[in-house]
Structure 1
Amino acid sequence: MYEETIDLLIDGVFRKGSEGKGQPLVNPATGEEIATVPHASAADLDAALAAADRAFGPWKALPAVNRYKIMMKAADLIDERLETIARVLTMENGKPLAEARGEVAFSAEATRWYAEEGKRAYGRIVPGRVPGQRQMVYKEPVGVVAAFAAWNFPASNVIRKISGALAAGCSIILKTAEETPGTAVAFARCFQDAGLPKGVLNLVFGVPDEVSLHLLASPIPRKVSLTGSTAVGKLLQKRAADTLKRTTMELGGHAPVLVFADADVDHAVATLAAAKFRNAGQVCTSPTRFFVHESIAGAFAAGMAAKAAALKLGNGLDPETQMGPMIAPRRCDAIQSLVDDAVGKGAELLAGGQRLDRPGNFYAPTVLSNVPESARIMSEEPFGPVASIVPFSTFDEVIARANALPYGLASFVFTKDGATARDAEMALEAGLVGVNHTMISTPETPFGGVNESGFGSESGIEGLEAFQRTKFVSELF
C-alpha cells in the first residue's frame, strides 16, 4: 500500500491544486496507478512565490543556531520515518528497498551536515589601508530559491536543495518530478512537523515547462537550482538570464571508465557491475563508457556479462530483488533503440538486450563488447542498464576518447599504479573522479560537473556557498 497523500505545500498548508488538475502516479514495477499528483495552477504558483517572499526576511534574520535546531529535528523525523519513506520511494521510483533505505538515510545525514555547516557561514576581516578603517566580508543568503529535482533520486536530489537553501537562510519553492512526488512530500511533512515557519518551504507539481516558465519569469526567486538533463538545463539557464538569477546546474553525464592493464580485474568487475546496474542504470554518475586495456578486455567483458546475467530483477519491495524497473515505458524504448543501433553497427551483445515480457518497465541488464565509436550509445547518455565496453591500447588514446564528449560529470579509473592514477585524474575533463571505487557522493564533499554536465556544486561547503552571496562593508571612523 502506498503510504503517502500527495499534496502541494504552499504557505505552510498541504492542499490540492486550486483548479483540480492532476495526473496519475504509476508504480513502474507493476504499471498500477497508486495515487494522483495534483497540479499547481498559475494562482497556486503565485501564492507560493508570495509566501516564499514573505518568509525569506524572517528566516534570514533567524539566528543560524535556531535554524540548526529546526533542521536537526527534521533530520530526526526523517530517521524515525525512514522505513515508511523508503517504501514510498521504492513504489514510485522502482529501485530496491535496500537502495531506497540508503538514500533516505543519506538525506537525514545531509540535513544534519548542512544544519551544522550553516552555523559556520563565516565571513572575514580584511586589514584596512588607512587608520580607523575596518573592512568586513559577509556571507548572506541569496534570497528565494526556485529548485527543480529529477526523479532518479527522489530523496537525495530533493534534500540537497531543501537543506542547502534552509541552512544558508533562504526560503525555497521546490518542484520535484511528478513521477516521484511522495518522497518530497514526506520530507516536507518532516520539516513542517519540526517547526519550520510557514512559507519557508513550498512544494509544487505540474507540467514542468509551464511551472518553470512561470516561476523563472518572476523577479522573486534570485537563485535557480536544477538536477536534470543537459537540454533542460540549457532551457532554464536561458529563462533565468532574463532576470539574472544565479544558477546551479547538475546535469547529464556519460561517465568514462578507464581500466588499465594492471588493474585488479575481479575487483573492477564487481565494483563497476554494482555501480552500472544500480537503480537500473538511471544514475547521472553511472559508468557508461567502459574503456578497458586490450590485454584484459576479454576477461573484463566476460565478467561483466556474468554479473549482468545473474542479477535478479523484480519489484523493489521484494527483498531478493537486485535491480528494479525503468521509470517509464519510454525509457525502455529509448534503451532498445540504442542497443539495436550498436549491434547493427557491429557491437557484440554479451548479455541482455531486450525488455522483459512481464508487467512493469523491466529491461534486462545488458553488456555490449567492442562497441564502435559510431554507435549512438557512445555519444548519447543511455541512462539505463547498459555497459558498453571498448578496448584501448595507450594512455593518450584513452584520455582522448574519454574526453571526446561535451559531458564532464563523473569518471572512474582502475589501476594499481599511483602515477597512472594521478596522471589520469589531472587529464580527465570531469567534476568527479573515483579511483578504484565509485563512491563519489557524500554530504561533506562537492558534487557537480563541468562543461555540458553543468556548473556549481551541491553538498560540501561549496553546496552551502551556492545559496549565499558576498557583501563587502568598509567602515571609516
Structure 2
Amino acid sequence: VIGAIAPWNWPVLIAIWQIVPSLRMGNTVVIKPSEFTPMATLEVVRLMNTVLPPGVVNAVSGDGEVGRRIVTSPEVAKIMFTGSVPTGREIMAASAPNLCRLTLELGGNDAAIVLPDVDPEAIAMDLFWGAFINMGQTCACAKRLYVHDDIYEDVVAALDAVAEGIPMGNGLEEGNLLGPVQNRPQFDKVVSLVDDARARGARIVRGGRPLDGPGLFYPVTLVADIDEDAPLVTEEQFGPVLPILRYQLLDDAVARANASPVGLGASVWSSDPGRAEDVARRLDAGTVWINQHGVIHPMVPFGGSKQSGFGLEFGIEGLKSVSRPQVISHRKEAVAGAA
C-alpha cells in the first residue's frame, strides 16, 4: 500500500504523479488531498475508479489527523509527500516506528544566476515564467534571482516589460494567464514578506500591494536592491514575488545560491552553454536548468538535495522508488566432472 499526501498548489497533477507510478508497479494507493483543494484530487480519484477495480485507488479527505493516521499505519509500506519542510519532518518522525519508506519533495528556494553575457530581452520571457508559473506557487520556481551588476538594471527593466503584458484575473474569463493566491494563509505570508522588504529599504519595481476587489489577488511583484538576509530572500515566498539581487563575482553568486538549507532546483542563464554547465555543476541542487527553469519531464528523475527532501520521482528511478526488490536464490547442484 502506498500512502500519498497531495499538496494544494497542483492538486491534480501531483496526485497523478503519485498515483500512476504506484499503480504501474503493482501497488494500491490511499491518497489524502490537501484541505485547501480536496475536490480537485477527489475528482481525479473518482474518474480513475470508473475503470479500476474497487479498492485499488482510495481517497480519504480531512485534516492533518487523517494524514497522521495514514503515515503511522503499519499497513502502509511507502509514503509519498509533497509539501513543506516542517511537515516533512513530522512525517519522518511519525513514520519512524514502522521504518516506512519515504519519498519527500519538500519544496525549495531555487536560485537563478544570470551571467553577464546574456541578452536581457532575449531571456526575459522564459525567466519570467520560470519564476511566476502558477503565480509562483510551485516548488521548482525561481525564487531568488542573482544578476551580474553590469546588466542588472537591464534585466530588471526587461522583466518589468514582460510583466506589464501578462493579464491577471478570474481564470474562468478568457485571456487571463495569472490568477489569485490559492489560500488566505499563503496570501498573508506574501503580503508580510513584501511589506518587510519595503521596510528594509528594498526597491519595489512593480506591484507590492494587494489588488482591490474580491479574491486573493496579489500582483506580479519585482523587488530590487534587496538585502541577502531579508526574509523574502531566505524564505520560500511561494507567491508572485521575485527578489532580484546583484553580484559582481561569480564565486560570490554561487556561494550565496548554495547558502540556502534547501536545494530543490536552480538555473544558470548564459549565451555560452559550456560556461553555464560549469557553473551548474557547482550548484547544490537536485536539478539545475540552463536557460530555463522548472522544466520537468516524466522520463527524467526529479528530486532535491539538502532539506528539499529525498527520494526520486519520474523515470526508471521513480518507478523503482515505489517498488521493493526481492532476490530468490536457488542452490545450484554441482555438475558431474566439474573441477
Return the TM-score normalized by structure 1.
Answer: 0.68
Q: Equivalents in 2 of 1:400, 1:313: separation in Å?
A: 35
Detail structure 1 runs of 4+ shifted over 4 Å in the superposition: none
The residue number in structure 1 matching 2:36 is: 179
The residue number in structure 1 matching 2:181 is: 326
1:347-362 matches, cutoff 5 A: 347-362=202-217
Q: Does 1:475 pair with 2:330?
A: yes
Contact 1:309 1:351 in 2 (8 A): no
Question: What secondary structure does 1:258 align onto?
Answer: strand
Deviation string for 1:25-49 (max 9, x for gaps)? xxxxxxxxxxxxxxxxxxxxxxxxx
The residue number in structure 2 matching 1:206 is: 62
Question: What secondary structure does 1:457 align onto?
Answer: coil
Q: Equivalents in 2 of 1:216, 1:390: separation in Å?
A: 40
The residue number in structure 2 matching 1:33 is: none
2:256 partner letter? R
The residue number in structure 2 matching 1:302 is: 157
- How far did residue 439 of structure 1 move? 4.8
1:268 partner letter? I
2:174 partner letter? P
Q: Does 1:285 pair with 2:140?
A: yes
The residue number in structure 1 matching 2:278 is: 423
The residue number in structure 2 matching 1:465 is: 320
Q: Equivalents in 1 of 2:108, 2:281: separation in Å?
A: 18
Question: What secondary structure does 2:144 align onto?
Answer: strand
Contact 1:365 1:386 in 2 (8 A): yes
1:381-420 matches, cutoff 5 A: 381-420=236-275
Identify which of 92, 98, 105 aligns with 1:250.
Answer: 105
1:157 partner letter? I
1:44-193 matches, cutoff 5 A: 144-193=1-50
Question: What secondary structure does 1:277 align onto?
Answer: helix
The residue number in structure 2 matching 1:30 is: none
- How far did residue 344 of structure 1 move? 1.4
Contact 2:130 2:292 in 1 (8 A): no
Query: RMSD of aligned C-alpha atoms?
Result: 1.2
1:189 partner letter? R
Q: Does 1:274 pair with 2:96?
A: no
- How far did residue 154 of structure 1 move? 1.4
Contact 1:308 1:367 in 2 (8 A): no
- How far did residue 340 of structure 1 move? 1.3
- How far did residue 471 of structure 1 move? 1.4
1:373 partner letter? E
- How far did residue 189 of structure 1 move? 2.5
Question: What secondary structure does 1:427 align onto?
Answer: coil
1:204 partner letter? V
Q: Does 1:226 pair with 2:81?
A: yes
Which structure's residues are more often helix, by fraction? 1
Q: Equivalents in 2 of 1:307, 1:206: separation in Å?
A: 40
Distance 1:407 1:439, change over 3 A: closer
1:177 partner letter? S
Q: Equivalents in 1 of 2:118, 2:161: separation in Å?
A: 19
The residue number in structure 2 matching 1:8 is: none
Contact 1:290 1:387 in 2 (8 A): yes
1:410 partner letter? G
Identify which of 416, 422, 434 aligns with 2:289.
Answer: 434
Return the TM-score normalized by structure 2.
Answer: 0.95
Contact 1:431 1:448 in 2 (8 A): yes
Q: Equivalents in 1 of 2:253, 2:262: separation in Å?
A: 16
Count of paired positions: 332
Q: Equivalents in 1 of 2:274, 2:28: separation in Å?
A: 46
- How far did residue 425 of structure 1 move? 1.6
Contact 1:309 1:352 in 2 (8 A): no
Q: Does 1:235 pair with 2:87?
A: no
1:313 partner letter? M
1:148 partner letter? I
1:276 partner letter? A
Q: Equivalents in 1 of 2:253, 2:183: separation in Å?
A: 34
Distance 1:184 1:387, change over 3 A: same
Distance 1:374 1:303, change over 3 A: same
Contact 1:432 1:440 in 2 (8 A): no
Q: Equivalents in 2 of 1:319, 1:475: separation in Å?
A: 65
- How far did residue 198 of structure 1 move? 1.2
Question: What secondary structure does 1:384 align onto?
Answer: coil
